[in-house]
Amino acid sequence: MENNYVPKDGSGNCFINDFKTPENNQPDFRGDLTLNGKTYELAMWKKLTSAGKPMLSINAKDKVDKPQPTQTTSKSQPERQQADSSW
């Protein structure tokens, strides 16, 4: 399914990152922001200020559309050779 949604300029969205775990450094939230016709990927981490107040640390980078995976059938892929384990 193709998503053709384009947010209004100056607006964006933010979602809880379901892949965040205590063991990794992934952001707590992920989202997109459109400014001046350009879309940015947002990553946000929950942190505390030096005074102990909650805040969000935000990182923004140019959004690069990921290429759509091509569907291949097993017939179009060459067969793998078995490794020689005799040595």
Delimit the domains of the chain by residue range. 1-64
pTM, 2 dp: 0.65
DSSP-assigned letter for residue 68: P
Per-residue pLDDT of the chain (87 residues; tens, 9 = 90+): 566 776 789 999 999 999 999 899 999 999 999 999 999 999 999 999 999 999 999 999 998 877 767 765 555 555 554 554 443
